[in-house]
């Protein structure tokens, strides 16, 4: 069915300080991952995993979700080099962080399905910690509205969830 | 499936930092964490303090993400031994060592490694990752350790921090793998800050770097850790085993059978 088989690795960037969130952009994450692969596997690793251009397919700066792509035969290289990422650099700012792998899938769609379920679970935990009644209402609405059928609705749900994230992160 | 556990979290005096570490571990999905006290005998003789119960330190333990249970916090003691006389502490029965959940030993010489694997009453033998091993692993003590249920521990935080440490970690790990074929391995962090922790899936992937196969690497983070915890519990509770040997005599056998039955109904 598909000619070139890829593996899509879904990870989350976890940073300590809130200002680290502004560092997260495609090029910074891509270069950090490539740097980690180069340190662990050298030229061979660089060529296998990210020879075909930058491998970042999707990035959500609010939740820190990153979707990386690599060839099916070399996804282990990428996966084993991901824990070695220590910091992100962008525009002169260094932000110490780490990547944690959430899911490895064969297509973007399967990763998206997983991401929606994961975000729904995160929203439920946020609901438990919520103090404001208004926030509670909004979270409940977003939990009910997330689904895979329309692309606009899923991105809308993520936007709402980002706001909740921001609301609770700064607490 | 057994929950993931991180068996080495160095216990420093900073309580807030430790709390943030535990929260990060719970968020990543670890079900159990062991707070590690390192005792080094090279310096002046240190007293082994009673382990601080985790419930005193942290009034509320964070909840593990993905389940609804609280994080389990255990206590662990690591003895860095470079001299056979240091091991005597382990044999004394009336010290505070018995109160720790997990006991680990970090041998520095080959003879001590042999002693630790064969006779010492420990749960974990630490493998040095920060410098080139001064001795080679040999098959007999490693096999005996595997039979006794002792696990070998590898740390991964030095591999994240520094490039030369990474080389030593990988080379020491690979030489261990060649001897023990990937059995009885536990991978844990020695993370001092929450940023040095990695999720269990990532740690299993790091195990692939060390030469483990995929199933062995996943086991190194989950089932082997649980087995170590159980080994520690049995060490704490069981002092010895009494077993009776029946002498085989045909005539008396028939007589003793009804007596046993009588005893069972009476008891």
Smallest CA–CA separation between B200 and chain A, in Å? Answer: 9
**Residue A75: its pLDDT value, please?**
84
Q: What is the CA radius of gyration of chain B?
A: 21
Q: Which of B65, B194, B202 sits opposite A101 (nearest CB)?
A: B202
DSSP assignment string, chain B: -PPEEEEEEE--S-HHHHHHHHHHHHHHTEEEEEEEEEEESSSSPPP-PPPPPHHHH-SSPPBPTTSSSBPEEEEEEEEEESSGGGGHHHH-SSSGGGGSSEEEEEE-SHHHHHHHHHT---SEEE---SS--SS---HHHHHHHHHHT-EEEEE-HHHHH-HHHHHHHHHHHHHHHHHHTT-SEEEE---SSGGG---HHHHHHHHHHTT--HHHHHHHHTHHHHHHHHHHHHHHH------------HHHHHHHHHHHHHHHHH-
Closest CA to B15 of B51, B54, B49: B54
Comparison of pLDDT for A133 and B104, the residue scoring more: B104
Closest CA to B199 of A8, A28, A71, A103: A103
Please tell me if residue B195 touches chain A, with a CB cutoff of 8 Å. yes
Mean pLDDT of B227-236: 83
Lowest mean pLDDT among A18-22, A53-57, A100-104: A18-22
**Residue B193: its pLDDT value, please?**
81
Q: Determine which helix (DSSP H) or strand (DSSP E) holds A13, and give its type and residue range.
A: strand A6-15
Chain B, residues 76-105, CB within 8 A of chain A, namely none
Residues in chain B with CB shorter than 8 Å from the CB of A97 are: 195
* Cβ-based neighbours of A45, under 8 Å, separated by 6 or more: A37, A38, A77, A81
Mean pLDDT of A65-73: 87
Mean pLDDT of A160-167: 39
Comparison of pLDDT for A137 and B226, the residue scoring more: B226
**Residue A169: its pLDDT value, please?**
35
Residues in chain B with CB shorter than 8 Å from the CB of A98 are: 195-198
pLDDT at B32 over 50: yes
* Whole-Å CA distances, B78 to B27, B81, B141, B198: 26, 9, 20, 22
Sign of the dihedral defined by the CA atoms of residues B3, B7, B13, B17, in that order = negative
**Residue A163: its pLDDT value, please?**
38
Q: Which of A40, A96, A98 sits opposite B198 (nearest CB)?
A: A98
What's the mean pLDDT when you consider all of chain B?
Answer: 77
What's the mean pLDDT when you consider all of chain A?
Answer: 75
Comparison of pLDDT for A54 and B120, the residue scoring more: B120
**Residue B179: its pLDDT value, please?**
86
Angle between helices B200-209 and B214-221 (to 10 degrees): 130
């Amino acid at each position: 069915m598909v000619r070139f088989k890829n593996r899509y690795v879904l990870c989350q960037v976890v940073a300590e300080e809130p200002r680290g969130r502004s560092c997260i952009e495609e090029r910074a994450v891509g270069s950090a991952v490539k740097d980690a692969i180069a340190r662990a596997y050298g030229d061979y690793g660089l060529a296998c995993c990210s020879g075909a251009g930058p491998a970042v397919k999707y990035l959500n700066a609010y939740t820190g979700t990153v979707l990386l792509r690599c060839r099916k035969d070399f996804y282990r290289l990428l996966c084993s080099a991901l824990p070695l990422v220590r910091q992100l650099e962008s525009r002169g700012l260094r932000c110490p962080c780490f990547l944690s792998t959430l899911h490895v899938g064969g297509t973007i769609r399967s990763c998206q399905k997983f991401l929606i379920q994961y975000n729904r679970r995160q929203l439920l935990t946020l609901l438990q910690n919520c103090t404001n009644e208004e926030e509670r209402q909004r979270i409940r609405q977003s939990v009910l509205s997330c689904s895979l059928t329309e692309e606009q609705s899923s991105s809308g749900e993520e936007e709402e969830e980002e706001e909740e994230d921001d609301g609770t992160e700064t607490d | 499936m057994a929950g993931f556990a991180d068996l080495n979290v160095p216990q420093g005096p900073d309580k807030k930092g430790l709390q943030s570490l535990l929260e990060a571990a719970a968020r990543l999905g670890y079900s159990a964490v062991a707070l590690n006290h390192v005792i080094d005998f090279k310096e002046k003789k240190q007293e082994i303090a009673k382990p601080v119960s985790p419930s005193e330190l942290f009034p509320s333990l964070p909840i593990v993400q993905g389940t609804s249970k609280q994080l389990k916090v255990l206590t662990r003691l690591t003895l860095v031994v470079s001299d056979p006389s240091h091991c005597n502490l382990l044999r004394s029965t009336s010290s505070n060592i018995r109160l720790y959940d997990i006991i680990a030993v970090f041998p520095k010489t080959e003879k001590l490694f042999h002693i630790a694997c064969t006779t010492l009453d420990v749960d974990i033998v630490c493998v040095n990752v920060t410098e080139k091993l001064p001795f080679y692993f040999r098959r007999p003590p490693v096999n005996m350790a595997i039979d006794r249920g002792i696990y070998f521990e590898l740390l991964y935080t030095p591999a994240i921090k520094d490039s030369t440490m990474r080389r030593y970690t990988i080379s020491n790990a690979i030489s261990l793998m060649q001897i023990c074929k990937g059995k009885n391995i536990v991978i844990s962090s020695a993370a001092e800050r929450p940023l040095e922790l990695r999720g269990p899936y990532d740690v299993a992937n790091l195990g692939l770097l060390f030469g483990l196969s995929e199933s062995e690497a996943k086991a190194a983070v989950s089932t082997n850790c649980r087995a170590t915890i159980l080994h520690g519990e049995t060490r704490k509770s069981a002092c010895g085993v009494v077993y009776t040997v029946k002498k085989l005599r045909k005539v008396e056998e028939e007589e003793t059978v009804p007596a046993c039955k009588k005893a069972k109904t009476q008891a």
